[in-house]
Structure formats: structure tokens, C-alpha cells
Amino acid sequence: MNVSSVVVQTKAEHLQEVMDTINAYELCEVHFYDSEGKIVATIEGDDIGEQMEKLKKIQSIPSVFNANLAYSYCEDELTQILGQLESTGGEVPSELKET
């Protein structure tokens, strides 16, 4: 399971409308918001690809002028990557080397 937090921004007069749309689409769970139009929510998904698709849908909601990923935790993918790093015997992966 992957969990990411997103910050969504809209105008104050569209705040409830945007939150209702997010909830209707079941894209994420709204945790906090302020009267100025900022919304903090979490997105869950099986992998980062699913989460990014949900983020794109949030970004396409009318009256949303900004929606960005603030934090992402991907337990399964992290475990897989750590296993790959351990199998190299401590050598720096080619992806991280300067070219």
C-alpha cells in the first residue's frame, strides 16, 4: 500500500465544491482545509502509478488551480529497491552515478 499527501489549492468560494468533488470521486481523503482554499488530503493506491493517476484527476477538477504531491510513502516499492541495493554488494547503482 502506498500513501501520499497532496496539497490542493482553489479559491475560497470554490472550497466546498472542490472538496465535494474530491469526495464524490473517492480520489482521496480530505484531512484539513482552511478558509483561504487550501486542502490537505491523502491518496492511497497499490503503486505510485495509481496515485499519480488520482493526482492528475484532482488537478483536472474545475476550480482547482494547483494540486501537488507533498509526501509519498511506498512501502512495497521501498522494500524492493532496498533489496536491489543490497544485492549489489554496496556498489552505487548506475542510475545514481554521474555520466
Grid look-up 504531491 returns: 69
What is the SS3 assignment for 84-98?
HHHHCCCCCCHHHCC
| Three-class SS state of 39 | strand
Q: 42-66 pLDDT, tens per residue?
A: 998 888 788 889 999 999 999 999 9
- Domain boundaries of the chain, sorted by first residue: 2-88
Calculate what percentage of the chain has a pLDDT beyond 70.
78
Q: What is the reported pLDDT for 15? A: 96
C-alpha to C-alpha distance for 16 and 24, rounded to whole angstroms: 12
Q: What is the reported pLDDT for 3? A: 84
> Sorting pLDDT into bands at 50, 70 and 90, what band is 78?
low
What's the CATH architecture for 2-88? Answer: 2-Layer Sandwich (3.30)
C-alpha to C-alpha distance for 19 and 24, rounded to whole angstroms: 9
